């Protein structure tokens, strides 16, 4: 799956990406408790990935890049369940700290 940057909207208020065929959206939204990384079907509220990155701005870009890297290996026709299988811990409000090191290793291996 390949993503291209587009204008933010109400569901992805800071940064928004659209998949090549327009089926999926991915992005970042600010909230009082931090930035949330979110993903879902295009034109609908995020429902596949939705987790808080907190207030540590130094991890926003690396985590986003790691998620995009993992999604490169999956076809755009994938089901929400197939995408969720790549991030089984990324439902609403999990503690990403448990899995952050694993995600950030992906970025280090890409550079």
Would you state the pLDDT for residue 111?
Answer: 45
Average pLDDT, 10 consecutive residues per value, the chain (111 residues): 96 96 96 90 90 85 89 93 78 56 60 45
* C-beta separation of 51 from 90 below 8 A: yes
Q: Bridge partners of 33?
A: none
Would you state the pLDDT for residue 95?
Answer: 55
Tell me which residue range forms the domain holding 25: 3-110
Work out the widest C-alpha separation in the chain, in whole angstroms: 34
Alpha helical stretches, state H, 1-111: 60-72, 80-86, 97-110
- Tally of structural domains, the chain: 1
Would you state the pLDDT for residue 96?
Answer: 56
């Amino acid at each position: 799956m390949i993503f291209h940057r587009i204008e933010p909207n109400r569901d992805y208020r800071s940064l928004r990406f659209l998949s090549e065929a327009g089926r999926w959206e991915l992005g970042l939204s600010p909230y009082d408790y931090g930035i949330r990384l979110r993903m879902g079907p295009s034109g609908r509220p995020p429902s596949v990935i939705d987790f808080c990155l907190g207030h540590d701005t130094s991890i926003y870009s690396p985590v986003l890049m790691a998620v995009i890297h993992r999604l490169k290996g999956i076809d755009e026709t994938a089901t929400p369940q197939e995408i969720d299988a790549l991030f089984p811990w990324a439902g609403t409000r999990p503690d990403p700290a448990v899995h952050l090191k694993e995600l950030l290793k992906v970025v280090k291996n890409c550079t």
